[in-house]
Structure 1
Amino acid sequence: MLGVRSINNLKGVHPDLVKVVKRAIQISECDFTVIEGVRTATRQAQLVKQGASQTKNSRHLTGHAVDLGAWVNGTVTWDWKYYYQIEKAMKQAAKELDIPIEWGGDWKTFKDGPHFQLPWGYK
C-alpha cells in the first residue's frame, strides 16, 4: 500500500501511470515509495546541473513520469537488485492494465533505475 507521501507525490501524474504504480505496489517483491512525479522546469534544470538528469525536456514536466525509490529497512536504497524487482512489478502491472510504460533501467545510456514513464506521444 502506498503511503501518504507517495500519494501526494502522485498528484498531477497521468491517471494511467498512477494506475500502474498502484497495481505494482500490490505485487512487488520490494516495497517502494514515489520519490517524485510532476516536476517544475526549475527543478528539472537543477537536476540536469547536478548530473542527475540529462534533459530539460523530461516526461516529469507533463506528469508522464515517476521516480520510485526502493524502500528497504525503513529507508530508500539505491541498490540495483531492488530496482529489478520493482521493474518486474511495474511491467507486469502495465501489461495487466494494457498501459505501455518505459523503464529508465532499459535505456542504453544514462541508466535510471528509479524512473518509469509513459512513452512519448502517449496522451
Structure 2
Amino acid sequence: MYNFSKTSVEKLKGLHPRLVEFANKLLEVSPYDFCITQGIRSVEEQQKLYAQGRTLPGSKVTNCDGIKYKSNHQVHDDGLGYAFDIAILIDNKINWDSKNYIKVGNAAMEIMKKYNVEWGGNWKSFKDYPHFELIGGRK
C-alpha cells in the first residue's frame, strides 16, 4: 500500500474532510502510487490557468475564470476546497499517460459513489484525468 508524502498531505489541507477521506481511500485502491499536485488554489492561480490557451501560450486547461465561475479548487463560502488533482508516480517519476489515469479512475468507481465524488475523466466537455471533486461543490 502507498502512503502520501508530506507535500501531498499539505496539499490536502483545507479540503472538505469527505474529500480528504476519499483521497486516502483512492490511494488504497489505486493500481499506481500518486501524489497530490493541487488542492486549494488562489484566485490568482485560477486566473493564470484560465488565461492559458487564451491570452497565455498553451492549451486550455479550465473553463473556470476564478471570479464569475469559481473552480472547486478555490475556497468556497464554508472555507473549504472541493477538488484535488493527482500525478501518477511510476518508478518515482511522474507519468502523464492517460491510460494509467483511466485505470485509477476505473479502480475508484465504487468509492466515488460512496463519497459523492466525480472524476474529470468522465466529463464530456473535456477530459481532466488527474482531477477529482465533490459533486455539487460549486456554488
TM-score normalised by length of structure 2: 0.80
Deviating beyond 6 angstroms after TM superposition, the runs of 4 or more aligned structure 1 residues are: none
Task: Name the amino acid aligned to 1:15.
Answer: P
Verify the 8 A CA contact 1:21 1:90 in the aligned structure 2.
no
Q: Post-superposition shift, 1:43? A: 0.3
1:87 aligns with one of 95, 99, 105: 105
2:72 aligned with 1:59, yes or no?
yes
| Residue-by-residue CA offset, 1:5-47 (whole Å, 9 max, x unaligned) | 1101101011100001101111211111100001001100101
* Root mean square deviation, CA, Å: 1.7
Bigger Rg, which one:
2
Q: Post-superposition shift, 1:88? A: 2.6
Q: Distance in 1 between matches of 2:137 and 2:130?
A: 21
Task: Name the amino acid aligned to 2:73.
Answer: H
The DSSP-based 3-state class of the residue aligned with 1:110 is coil
Verify the 8 A CA contact 2:101 2:129 in the aligned structure 1.
yes
Determine the structure 2 residue equivalent to 1:43.
45
Task: Name the amino acid aligned to 1:41.
Answer: V
Q: Distance in 1 between matches of 2:106 and 2:43?
A: 30
Structure with a larger share of its residues in helix: 1
Task: List runs of 5+ in structure 1 lacking aligned partners.
Answer: none
Verify the 8 A CA contact 2:72 2:137 in the aligned structure 1.
no
Verify the 8 A CA contact 1:27 1:89 in the aligned structure 2.
yes
| Residue-by-residue CA offset, 1:32-81 (whole Å, 9 max, x unaligned) | 11000010011001011112212121110031000011111212111011
Task: List runs of 5+ in structure 2 lacking aligned partners.
Answer: 53-59, 76-80
Task: Name the amino acid aligned to 2:126.
Answer: F
Verify the 8 A CA contact 2:38 2:85 in the aligned structure 1.
yes
Q: Label 1:73 to 1:61 Cα distance change in 2 as closer, same or farther (>3 A).
A: same
2:25 aligned with 1:23, yes or no?
yes
User: For structure 1, which segment, 101-110 or 49-58, has the greater mean C-alpha deviation from structure 2 after superposition?
Assistant: 49-58
How many residue pairs are counted as aligned between the two chains?
121
Task: Name the amino acid aligned to 2:111.
Answer: A
Q: Label 1:90 to 1:21 Cα distance change in 2 as closer, same or farther (>3 A).
A: farther
User: For structure 1, which segment, 38-47 or 23-32, has the greater mean C-alpha deviation from structure 2 after superposition?
Assistant: 23-32
